[in-house]
Amino acid sequence: MAVEEGSPAPDFTLTSDAGDAVTLSSLKGTPVVLYFYPKDDTPGCTAQACGIRDAWTEFEAAGAVVLGVSPDGEASHAKFKEKYGLPFALLADTDHEVAEEYGVWGEKSYAGKTYMGVNRSTFVIGPDGNVAKAFYDVKPAEHADQVLEALGSG
């Protein structure tokens, strides 16, 4: 079931690319951009991450914490982050528990095959801990601008 705008963002603790535990509720009081993506270092996911990186000063100006989440592990995240100079944390949801809680784990199709995976989605969480904006089936090229607009910075 998808998380609805206006509802409390489901809390979680995941391990970051740096090996740190990141708990969503500890960020209350700060806007959070929580974005789910399918896989490190693939064309769409790279475009999406680099779009945020390229607009990083605007995300900082909005006071937002950006967290990227995928089923890849910490080592994969660390390589991806280093390769592209990403200035934000990538979180490992290897059992896709958090993706399921946010309603973004489901059936996907690629090259005529169907499989289970993360549907590219982003949640802008207000300082109050509630979901201010939810984006589903995000287009990587438009992602950063859409999120900045939701943060009031676009």
DSSP the chain: -PPPTTSBPPP-EEEETTS-EEEGGGGTTS-EEEEE-S-TTSHHHHHHHHHHHHTHHHHHHTT-EEEEEESS-HHHHHHHHHHHT--SEEEE-TT-HHHHHTT-EEEEEETTEEEEEE--EEEEE-TTSBEEEEEES--HHHHHHHHHHHHT--
- Residue 45: active-site member: yes
Q: From the candidates 9, 34, 45, 150, give the one annotated as an active-site residue.
A: 45
Catalytic site residues? Answer: 45
